[in-house]
Structure 1
Amino acid sequence: MALEAALALLALAFALAARPWRLLGSRKPLAHEAHGAPATLWTPLLATLVLLPWAWALPTLHRMPLQLQWSGACLVLLMLGWPLAVPALLAVGTIAALISPSLGWGDALGLAVWQGIVPATLALLVGVLLRRLAGARALTGVRIFIYVLGRGFLGTALCVFVAGSLSQWAGHVLPGVGEQLSLVARWLMAWGDGMVTGMLCAVFVAFKPGWLATWSDQLYLPKP
């Protein structure tokens, strides 16, 4: 628990230093939005706080041979950006502990770190790498492909699996599953996370780009 507490406090300190609350009030209207309506992150933030705690608490609310876990942290990272995603994910862990009577505060902290902060941080690093690939020489179609497939589908699956493997190394094993089989289960569950995140990312890029703090028209849809 000491490791999780240290990681959470370190990430929260860096996130608050970036003053993430500014993202909630400084979103400018996008050129392609009807009537110049301002893009706001309040909707994805509230959706995260309402829906994601139930997904995190679900494995402790019922009994199954394999506790299916869904992170959602990479999607939160794409929608809110890292500075705002970190306190939001910590809040999700707190709400999950309040929802499930069998989920202790220590377990909730572990969820917030290994299912939240760690995959979101890895997704941030993947995003930095892919932004370099979407440089000035890349075609517009290729840039969108890099964002949706790289950050939404493949990047999410990779980040969630690596975070799950690190959590297993730290002693958080899946109940009733052997150590080697746990890695296989985490790999399969990571692809479920990647599919959901990738599909929602594609939908938001097409219809609600204002809900994606990591999306930039100037970078991914440059004017000729």
Structure 2
Amino acid sequence: MDFPAHLFPGPLLWSANAVLLFVVLGALRYAPLGRLWNSEFIHVYSAACVVLLLLWNTGVGVLPALNFHLLGVTAITLMFGWAYAVVAVLLVSAGSIVNQGGAWASVGLNALIMGCIPILVTGTLLRFAQRKLPHNFFIYIYVNGFLAAGLSTLAAGMVGALLLLVCDTTSAQWLSYQYYPFFPLIFFSEAIINGMIMTALVALKPEWVCTFDDNRYLKGK
């Protein structure tokens, strides 16, 4: 989902920018910066950001300048951790603004809704699975890959819908007929894409996935 600046009041946009700045500073503080000296990590991370940028710039419009598109944030979070995922979201949000000619005032709102909310949902579900569920390969793939991705995009969509209602941009009736019906489609699309990506990565390149541990999910199973 893209949320252009003209749909929201200025104070909300700049408040979102301030919150995003706080989140990014926190991410930079807790990010394992030593990984930046690893050339393989830099190459993989850069490639992932490019793929994410392509996903965010391919969408279907349901309202002038309001588009649905795949997020891909769950895979980024599982691959690099929440801190690097936040930085990736910031870079991709800025890249989308440049590519689409949008207003820079909306970068914070879009990054928070389409990036930070999915990161939060994915991270929360990952911690829950690690503490409460069996440490199993299929639990990781289906819960932390498929389910987390689907729930993440639903959470982002619901927050976006709430903001549209609060700002009186559209009506609840319009959302019921033109916005909510897309949610099952984006849930399954997001879940399948992220789940397939994580399945391929943990099978072929598990060293690229910082949240996957062979000793936890495979050995002795």
Aligned-pair CA distance for 1:185? 1.3
Unmatched runs of 5 consecutive residues or more in structure 1: 27-37
If the length of structure 1 is used for normalisation, what is the TM-score? 0.79
* Aligned counterpart for 1:214 among listed residues 189, 211, 215: 211
Matches within 5 A, 1:165-184: 165-171=158-164, 178-181=174-177, 182-184=179-181
Deviations 1:175-214 (A, max 9, x none): xx92123123134213211100001111111111111111
Structure having the larger proportion of residues in helix: 2
Q: Does 2:57 correspond to 1:57? A: yes
- Identity, in percent, stands at 23
Structure 2 Cα separation of the partners of residues 44 and 198 of structure 1: 18
Where do residues 102-181 of structure 1 align in structure 2 (5 Å cutoff)? 103-134=102-133, 138=134, 143-171=136-164, 178-181=174-177
Deviation at 1:143, TM superposition (A): 0.7
Aligned partners of 2:112, 2:70: CA distance in 1, in Å?
A: 14
Correspondence 1:97 to 2:109: no
Deviations 1:152-184 (A, max 9, x none): 10111012101220122122879xx92123123
Question: Which position in structure 2 is the counterpart of 1:67?
Answer: 67
Confirm whether residue 76 of structure 1 aligns to residue 61 of structure 2. Answer: no
Q: RMSD of the alignment, in Å?
A: 2.6
Partner Cα separation in structure 1 for residue 15 and residue 159 of structure 2: 12
Distance 2:74 2:25 in 1: 20
Instruction: Give the TM-score of the pair, scaled to structure 2.
Output: 0.80
Structure 2 distance, partners of 1:64, 1:5, is 25
Q: Distance in 2 between matches of 1:97 and 1:151?
A: 30
- 1:84-105: CA deviations, max 9, x gaps? 111111011111111112x221
User: Structure 2, unaligned stretches of length 5 or more?
Assistant: 1-12
Where 1:67 maps in the other structure, the secondary structure is: strand
Distance in 2 (alpha carbons) for counterparts of 1:186 and 1:63: 14
Pairing 1:195–2:192 present? yes
- CA–CA distance in 2 between the matches of 1:215 and 1:186? 29
Q: 1-side partners of 2:19 and 2:74: how far apart?
A: 18
Q: What is the one-letter code of the residue matched to 2:122?
A: A
3-state SS of 1:171 partner: helix
Check 1:186–1:105 CA distance in 2 against 1; reply closer, same or farther (3 A cut).
farther
